[in-house]
Amino acid sequence: MVDRAARTVALKVLDRARGGTIDVVENGRTTRVGTPDGEEPLRAVLEVRDRAFWPGLARGSSGLATAYADGLWTSPDVVELIRVGARNGAQLDAVRRALRPVLGTLRALGDRAGNTITASRKQIAAHYDLGNELFSRFLDETLTYSCAIFPSRRASLREAQVHKLDVACRKLGLGPGDHVLEIGTGWGGFALHAAGRYGARVTTTTISREQHRVAVRRVREAGLGERVRVLADDYRQLRGAYDKLVSIEMIEAVGWRNLGAFFRACSDRLRSHGAMLLQAITIDDAAYDVEKGSRTFIREQIFPGGDLPSLAVIHRELARHTDLRATSLEDITPHYPETLRRWRASFLEHAEELAAIGYDTRFRRLWELYLAYSEAGFRERRIRDVQLVLAKPLWEPATGWMHSEPAASAPGGT
């Protein structure tokens, strides 16, 4: 009775979806829900394999993800299905906004400490210390785990990631005289690029043990030990003054409570003529208040403690806590769906290898959904990716400073 009741309610909710239809296939029967209005209506398929799927939907994206990991549902095109949901995000936001007084109190009770240094290390370990064997199976040779910028439709993922690193370095006018601080090392891609190709001196930090180990090794193997120093410090523990600062898709792990502290730390580390390149995944301004700290699939099962800032919040926190000013903003969102599509294709291609080294079916299904879920969000612009140049009062762009090449050639029809 519970399963049937949950199914009835869920189908009524799904039938209110706009911008596409969903064919719900269950026990050999198909029920079509949704409305195919708009310029490019979507047509998705949801195959329900177990009726226990329906009650789980009451938990939102977290319940949907758990059910997928457990094999209770599937789809021939998961991205298309999630895109239908993303198109109707505003409707869901309205409901969540009405419940915010209650949900906000519950979240506050469960998240009173915020991302302390100790908590941040545990949260980062829960994702980035899952094993370098995992990430090496779907990232390109540079081990870059952030949005690429494709210089052409024919570019390989490696070429696109190297191009992205070039774009970041050029925007800051990096050169041999610069000492650069990077917050969020990853596996060392930017540090190696900035030191090896631009001659800069780089101090980079990560609180992931696995990333630190690999980055140190890669620096040593590249013969760049005199130019690159790899730390294991939290951004709140950093000291010293630097000419330039780079942080590529690390701010998402800061948490909404600590955005001001993060920007203040960045500003304090920069000399008065310095500048910062920030690459950030952002949520729409209108959705920020209902998304921050919410118990979503991504926050609970993929990136514990993470939150996406909005552009309005970034500018607000900069104004409140720093003397940094935004001098340029580039939206590189069109390049993320293709980046994620290629990561997911490589992830699935190496499924047997991952199974052989201990990543079970449930884990692989959860991560397959995570990559598809993210791709859908970027395709529908529910989330975006931007590069911001943030400058101190005395910063002057180097002669010949230029933006990256136009993004019109981004692959994937965007």
Instruction: Output the pLDDT for position 363.
Output: 97
Q: Are residues 203 and 67 in the same domain?
A: no
Q: Is the residue at 345 inside a domain?
A: yes
Q: Are residues 155 and 265 in the same domain?
A: yes
Q: Are residues 158 and 210 in the same domain?
A: yes
Contact between residue 61 and residue 296 where contact means Cβ atoms under 8 Å apart? yes
Q: Are residues 53 and 150 in the same domain?
A: no
Task: Give the Cα separation of 251 and 182 in Å (integer).
Answer: 12
Pairing of strands 179-183, 201-205: parallel
Q: Is the residue at 99 inside a domain?
A: no
Residue 111: pLDDT above 90? Answer: no
Residue 113: pLDDT above 60? Answer: no
Q: Is the residue at 337 inside a domain?
A: yes
Looking at residues 1-5, what average pLDDT do you find? Answer: 87
Instruction: Output the pLDDT for position 139.
Output: 98
Helix/strand/coil (H, E, C) string of the chain?
CHHHHHHHHHHHHHCCCECEEEEEEECCEEEEEEECCCCCCEEEEEEECCCCHHHHHHHHHHHHHHHHHCCCEECCCHHHHHHHHHHCHHHHHHHHHHCHHHHHHHHHHHCCCCCCHHHHHHHHHHHHCCCHHHHHCCCCCCCCCCCCCCCCCCCCHHHHHHHHHHHHHHHCCCCCCCEEEEECCCCCHHHHHHHHHHCCEEEEECCCHHHHHHHHHHHHHCCCCCCEEEECCCHHHCCCCEEEEEEECCHHHCCHHHHHHHHHHHHHHEEEEEEEEEEEEEECHHHHHHHCCCCCHHHHHCCCCCCCCCHHHHHHHHHHHCCCEEEEEEECHHHHHHHHHHHHHHHHHCHHHHHHCCCCHHHHHHHHHHHHHHHHHHHCCCEEEEEEEEECCCCCCCCCCCCCCCHHHCCCCC
Tokens standing for 158?
Answer: 């490696």
Among 267, 333, 237, 395, which Cα is nearest to 259's? 267
Q: Is the residue at 278 inside a domain?
A: yes
Q: Is the residue at 247 inside a domain?
A: yes
- Find the angle CA(252)-CA(389)-CA(117) to the nearest 5 degrees: 35
Instruction: Output the pLDDT for position 407.
Output: 41
Looking at residues 83-100, what average pLDDT do you find? Answer: 73
Looking at residues 154-158, what average pLDDT do you find? Answer: 98
Looking at residues 123-150, what average pLDDT do you find? Answer: 96
Q: Are residues 122 and 83 in the same domain?
A: no
Looking at residues 101-125, what average pLDDT do you find? Answer: 69
Q: Is the residue at 272 inside a domain?
A: yes
CATH number at residue 238: 3.40.50.150
Q: Are residues 255 and 317 in the same domain?
A: yes
Among 410, 358, 368, 388, which Cα is nearest to 77's? 368
Q: Are residues 232 and 312 in the same domain?
A: yes
Q: Is the residue at 324 inside a domain?
A: yes
Among 89, 91, 42, which Cα is nearest to 382's? 89
The model's pLDDT over 10-31, given as tens digits with 9 standing for 90+, comes to 999 999 999 999 999 999 999 9
Number of domains present in the structure of the chain: 2
Picking from 87, 109, 129, the residue at the C-terminal end of a domain is 87
Q: Are residues 157 and 223 in the same domain?
A: yes
Q: Are residues 68 and 147 in the same domain?
A: no
Q: Is the residue at 107 inside a domain?
A: no
Instruction: Output the pLDDT for position 106.
Output: 47
Looking at residues 174-190, what average pLDDT do you find? Answer: 97
Contact between residue 237 and residue 117 where contact means Cβ atoms under 8 Å apart? yes
Residue-number span of the structural domain to which 311 is assigned? 117-409
- Mean pLDDT taken over the chain: 91
Q: Are residues 133 and 82 in the same domain?
A: no
Looking at residues 303-330, what average pLDDT do you find? Answer: 96
- Which residues are paired to 340 by β-bridges? none
Q: Are residues 223 and 172 in the same domain?
A: yes
Q: Are residues 50 and 152 in the same domain?
A: no
Looking at residues 54-72, what average pLDDT do you find? Answer: 95
